[in-house]
Structure 1
Amino acid sequence: MTANEDQEMELEALRSIYEGDECFKEVSPVSFQFRVGDLENTKAFILDVTWPDTYPESAPQISLDAFFNNKISAETKQLILSKLEEQVEANLGTAMMYTLFEWAKENQEELMENHRPVMTTVTLTTCSETTALSSTATKREKKEQLTKSQKRRMINRTDNKGELPRGWNWIDVIKHLSKTGGKDED
């Protein structure tokens, strides 16, 4: 069989095995993601696997660069990749995706035993630094200025709470109909 026929057969097998499994995702016909562990588990990780043109005769490309894996240290990622490379070497020349995924699931605890979640750093700034930054970065927006007569008219229209009285903008229906005319029925 050619490499493409082997890939097609393995792709069909993976689709049937992992149909409906939320841990498996087919990104493209030659690229897959497999989550090892539950979403809530701090020791869960995602394997990104891509087949080269000559797969299964040559090794697939395995990566742990998914955003989901950001909390895993570089040392732990390197350990996982080296252990998976050993499995790839042992299964070279055969369809190995199912074997790799299941091996990773079974050995998750061993792979993640030295796992310490990576913490991201947050920079704190003082209040004076924040105001200095905001005053230089953005210009002040000017409010619309009203004339004295506009202010007087607005105050005369409002009550003591600053709200307009009910019906201030109502129209006189009779006056309006006399100007526009009513419907003439023919």
Structure 2
Amino acid sequence: MTANEDQEMELEALRSIYEGDECFKELSPVSFQLRIGDLEDSKAFILDITWPEAYPVTGPQISLDGFFNNRIIPEIKQLILSKLAEQVEANLGDAMTYTLFEWAKENQEALMENHRPVVTAVTLTSSGEAIPNAVTAKKKERKEQLTKAQKRRIISRTDNKGELPRGWNWIDVIKQLSKTGGGKDDD
């Protein structure tokens, strides 16, 4: 069999295995993603596998560069990639995408045991300690912002004291009667 025939067979198998699985995504006929773990799990990650032209004779390209994985520190990403590279070497010449995905699922806990989510912003205290901004920053209460047009309408309705004029919400009797047909009754 040629590499393309092997790829077609593996593609068909992957589609049937992961049909309806929300964790699996086929980006193209040679590129796939699988989320390892639940969305809410801080140890979850997305594994990208792309087949080169000579796959499965040569190993696939494995990546953890997705936005979802930004919370994983580089050392953990490197550990995962090196362990997956060992699996690629062991399965070279065979269809291995499913094997790699399942191996990552089975070993997720071991791969992510030293994982601590990346802190994106820190504040240094006077003693030099780093504290995450999420802890130090208090949520500021947001005031509703009015547009210029809304402010003009409010100002045009009020007098110089900021009060609404007497009868501002009264209806115009003539207009109301003309709309409702309050004319003479034909008896």
TM-score, L = length of structure 2: 0.70
Q: Select which of 164, 168, 175 maps to 2:172.
A: 168
- What letter corresponds to residue 11 of structure 2 in structure 1? L
Deviation at 1:66, TM superposition (A): 0.9
Offset of residue 27 of structure 1: 0.9
Quickly say closer, same or farther: Cα 1:170–1:82, change in 2 above 3 A: farther
Partner-residue secondary structure (3-state), 1:171 = helix
Residue 97 of structure 1 corresponds to which residue in structure 2? 97
Distance across 1 between alignment mates of 2:29 and 2:69: 23
Please give the residue correspondences for 1:122-141 in structure 2 after superposition, counting only pairs within 5 Å.
Answer: none
- Alpha-carbon distance between aligned partners in 1 of 2:81 and 2:173, rounded to the nearest angstrom: 73
What is the distance in 2 between the residues matched to 1:113 and 1:81? 15
Q: Does the CA-based 8 Å contact 1:50-1:60 persist in structure 2?
A: yes
Whole-angstrom distance in 2 between the partners of 1:9 and 1:172: 75
Corresponding residue for 1:26?
A: 26
TM-fit CA distance, 1:42: 1.2
Corresponding residue for residue 7 of structure 1 = 7
Query: Cα distance, 1:122 vs. partner?
Result: 5.8
CA distance in 2, matches of 1:29, 1:169: 71
Corresponding residue for 2:137?
A: none
Letter in 2 for 1:12: E
Pair 1:4–1:120, CA change in 2 (3 A): same
Distance change (3 Å), C-alpha of 1:22 and 1:172: closer
Task: Tell me the CA shift for residue 50 of structure 1.
Answer: 0.8
Corresponding residue number in structure 1 for 2:68: 68
Task: Provide Cα deviations, 1:68-120, integer angstroms capped at 9, x if missing partner.
Answer: 11110000000000000010011111100111011111111111111111111
Q: Relative to 1, partners in 2 of residues 1:169 and 1:37: Cα closer, same or farther, differing over 3 Å?
A: same
Closer/same/farther in 2, CA of residues 168 and 114 from structure 1, 3 Å limit:
same
Q: TM-score, normalised by structure 1?
A: 0.70
Q: How far did residue 35 of structure 1 move?
A: 0.9
CA–CA distance in structure 1, aligned partners of residues 177 and 109 of structure 2: 80
In the TM superposition, what is the alpha-carbon distance from 1:165 to its structure 2 partner?
A: 4.0
- Structure 2: distance between partners of 1:68 and 1:105: 17
8 Å CA contact 1:31–1:51 kept in 2: the answer is: yes
Aligned residue pairs total 149
Secondary structure in structure 1 of the residue aligned to 2:175: coil
Matched, 1:40 2:45: no
**Quick one: percent identity of the two aligned structures?**
70
Q: 1:164 to 1:106 in 2, by over 3 A?
A: same
Aligned-residue offset at 1:59: 1.1
Q: RMSD value over aligned CA atoms?
A: 2.9
CA distance in 2, matches of 1:120, 1:169: 63
2:89 alignment partner AA: E
1:168 Cα deviation after fit: 3.5
Larger radius of gyration: 1
User: Which residue in the other structure is 2:165 paired with?
Assistant: 158
